[in-house]
């Protein structure tokens, strides 16, 4: 209904969506899975933001709202959908909605691709709304994998990076996405997040904090994606999770140490390609009070450190994570460098360490962290790939450098 602000209140329930016909693949001990590149690829399912109670949608053109349980059942349709608030509630009724009856989930389709807005972002494909428990809802964008990648490459890598670096980024991102599509957990009705928790994705376009409408997917990014010819990385003909980070800091990390299992292409090696990149070397000062909150998180009161007198680091080197031991003189607590990095921002957003590769020492009432790199450091180094591309390497050569022993295959 043009000109009206509508509120959709969804009936709380559990989801039972099955958008695929095959069960998930289970990675072997080395983190690889079997797959057939000749099989058709379904749309990727991207969860948009975290769980929320309220989301605003609109459609700039003809649309249909379909039942989430019966895709052939049209619940509502129109020539345009103006700003509409979709809300989940434990009260089992609907108010001021274009829907004829309470629903547990629905699918929003637009006649014109790229005309669905969720909040301040516009998306291709379809958008699914369903419950996430309590009075929260989950929003999932179902979009063609190649369209998804055209947005991801713009969000993950600066547009002025050389084409070869961007193409390497696309292939790594495609492989990462496909790996998660094929190994998704049955309890999750989506494949990836739209943030750095998976890969950054802003849809087709978005409105920034200054109110400007900006393109996330561009003609240039579409050409970069097309140039990669649907290539993915494999190791011994098996798919693996092709991780990447902004800056490795002089050595790509050992994926076995960071993620638990990884094939040989993710074992890491020395690399000086990102010298001078943002956070190649960094220093952070964190108060001991904040550090103690992070160290004691989740501990019983009787096990908490009361002060911090000693700090020792066991660094195994070779791209593996260090262990940090803290003591107040009576009690001792040992945590991995990654665990400390993950806990500190929960205490204070300003206490964010760029990577889990660092040294630390007590200095008065502070801890000085000196580290290298930006991100987990496993796999492709984005700033390093820029340097290699400027030296004349092709995307295939860049990928061979960062994922040694891997090969490329093309999806049909």
pLDDT in tens, 148-193: 999 999 999 999 999 999 999 999 999 999 999 999 877 789 999 9
Bridge partners (DSSP) listed for residue 133: 136
pLDDT at residue 261 tops 70: yes
Pull the structure tokens for residue 390.
Answer: 């400027």
Structure confidence at residue 25 (pLDDT): 83
Angstrom distance (rounded) from CA 305 to CA 325: 12
Question: Under a CB-based contact definition with an 8 Å cutoff, are residues 9 and 93 in contact?
Answer: yes
The residues, any chain, with a CB within 8 Å of residue 347's CB and separated by 6 or more, are 290, 293, 294, 297
Structure confidence at residue 15 (pLDDT): 33
Q: pLDDT higher for 403 or 90?
A: 403
Under DSSP, is residue 234 helix (H, G, I), strand (E, B) or coil?
strand
Which of 100-109, 235-244, 284-293, 306-315 bottoms out in mean pLDDT, i.e. has the lowest?
100-109
pLDDT at residue 221 tops 80: yes
Which among 405, 409, 404, 388 is positioned nearest to 165, based on CA atoms?
388
3-state SS string for 319-382: CCCCEEEEECCCCEEEEEHHHHHHHHHHHCCCCCCCCCCEEEEEECCEEEEEEECECCCECEEH
**Pairing status of strand 74-78 against strand 116-118:** unpaired
CA distances from 58 to 26, 145, 210 (A): 39, 23, 20
Q: pLDDT higher for 394 or 20?
A: 394
Pull the structure tokens for residue 27.
Answer: 């990675």
pLDDT tens digits for range 331-376: 999 999 999 999 999 999 999 999 999 999 999 999 999 999 999 9
Structure confidence at residue 103 (pLDDT): 78
- Residue range 302-326: mean pLDDT, rounded: 95
Radius of gyration of the chain (CA): 23
CA distances from 137 to 12, 56, 65, 107, 268 (A): 9, 12, 17, 13, 40
pLDDT tens digits for range 86-105: 887 765 433 336 667 777 88
pLDDT at residue 141 tops 90: yes
pLDDT at residue 112 tops 90: yes
Would you give the DSSP letter of residue 279? T
Per-residue confidence band for 199, with pLDDT thresholds at 50, 70 and 90: very high
Which of 43-57, 100-114, 200-214, 390-404 bottoms out in mean pLDDT, i.e. has the lowest?
100-114
Pull the structure tokens for residue 186.
Answer: 């049955």
- Residue range 382-394: mean pLDDT, rounded: 99
24 torsion bin: left (phi>0), alpha (psi -120 to 50), beta (else): beta
Question: Under a CB-based contact definition with an 8 Å cutoff, are residues 104 and 3 in contact?
Answer: no
**Pairing status of strand 6-11 against strand 81-89:** parallel
Q: What is the mean pLDDT of the chain?
A: 91
Q: pLDDT higher for 105 or 209?
A: 209
Angstrom distance (rounded) from CA 144 to CA 159: 22
Residue with tokens 């450190």: 305
Pull the structure tokens for residue 82.
Answer: 């103006």
Would you give the DSSP letter of residue 20? -
Which of 82-96, 208-222, 293-307, 374-388 bottoms out in mean pLDDT, i.e. has the lowest?
82-96
- Residue range 316-328: mean pLDDT, rounded: 96
Would you give the DSSP letter of residue 253? B
Report residue 210: phi and psi, to 5°: -95, 5
Structure confidence at residue 21 (pLDDT): 36
Question: Under a CB-based contact definition with an 8 Å cutoff, are residues 382 and 247 in contact?
Answer: yes
Q: How many CA atoms lie within 13 A of 27 on its CB side?
A: 20
Structure confidence at residue 299 (pLDDT): 87
Per-residue confidence band for 214, with pLDDT thresholds at 50, 70 and 90: very high
User: DSSP characters for 107-174?
Assistant: EEEESSTT-EEETTEEESSEEEEEEEETTEEEEEEEE-HHHHHHHHHHHHS-TTS-HHHHHHHHHHHH
pLDDT tens digits for range 30-83: 999 999 999 999 999 999 998 888 899 999 999 999 988 787 889 899 999 999
Pull the structure tokens for residue 321.
Answer: 């994570």
Angstrom distance (rounded) from CA 175 to CA 184: 14
Structure confidence at residue 104 (pLDDT): 81
Pull the structure tokens for residue 59.
Answer: 């459609």
* Centroid of chain to Cα 392: 30
């Amino acid at each position: 209904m043009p000109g009206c602000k509508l509120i959709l209140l969804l009936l709380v329930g559990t989801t039972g969506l099955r958008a695929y016909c095959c069960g998930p693949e289970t990675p072997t001990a080395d983190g690889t899975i079997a797959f057939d590149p000749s099989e058709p690829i379904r749309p990727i399912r991207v969860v948009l933001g975290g769980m929320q109670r309220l989301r605003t949608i609109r459609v700039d053109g003809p649309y249909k709202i379909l039942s989430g349980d019966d895709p052939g059942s049209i619940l509502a349709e129109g020539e345009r959908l103006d700003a509409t608030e979709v809300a989940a509630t434990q009260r089992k009724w609907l108010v001021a909605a274009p829907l004829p009856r309470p629903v547990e989930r629905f699918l929003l389709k637009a006649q014109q691709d790229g005309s669905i807005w969720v909040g301040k972002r516009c998306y291709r494909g379809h958008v699914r709304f369903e419950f996430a428990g309590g009075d929260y809802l989950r929003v999932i964008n179902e979009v063609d994998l190649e369209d998804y990648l055209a947005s991801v490459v713009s969000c993950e890598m600066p547009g002025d990076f050389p084409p070869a670096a961007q193409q390497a980024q696309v292939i790594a991102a495609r492989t990462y996405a496909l790996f998660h599509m094929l190994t998704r957990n049955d309890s999750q009705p989506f494949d990836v997040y739209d943030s750095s928790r998976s890969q950054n994705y802003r849809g087709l376009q978005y409105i920034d904090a200054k109110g400007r409408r900006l393109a996330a997917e561009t003609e240039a990014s579409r050409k970069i994606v097309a140039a990669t010819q649907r290539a993915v990385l494999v190791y011994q003909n098996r798919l693996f999770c092709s991780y990447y980070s902004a800056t490795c800091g002089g050595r790509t990390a050992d994926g076995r140490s960071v993620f638990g299992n990884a094939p040989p292409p993710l074992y890491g090696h020395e690399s000086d390609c990102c010298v001078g990149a943002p956070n190649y070397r960094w220093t952070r000062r964190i108060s001991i009070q904040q550090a103690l909150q992070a160290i004691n998180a989740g501990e019983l009161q009787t096990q908490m450190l009361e002060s911090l007198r000693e700090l020792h680091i066991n660094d195994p080197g070779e791209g593996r994570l260090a262990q940090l031991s803290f003591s107040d003189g009576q009690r001792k607590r040992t945590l991995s460098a990654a665990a400390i990095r993950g806990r500190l921002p929960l205490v204070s957003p300003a206490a964010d360490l760029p990577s889990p590769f660092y040294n630390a020492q007590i200095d008065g009432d502070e801890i000085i962290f000196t580290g290298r790199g930006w991100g987990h450091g496993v796999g492709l180094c984005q700033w390093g790939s820029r340097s290699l591309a400027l030296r004349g390497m092709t995307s295939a050569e860049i990928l061979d450098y960062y994922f040694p022993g891997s090969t490329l295959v093309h999806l049909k």
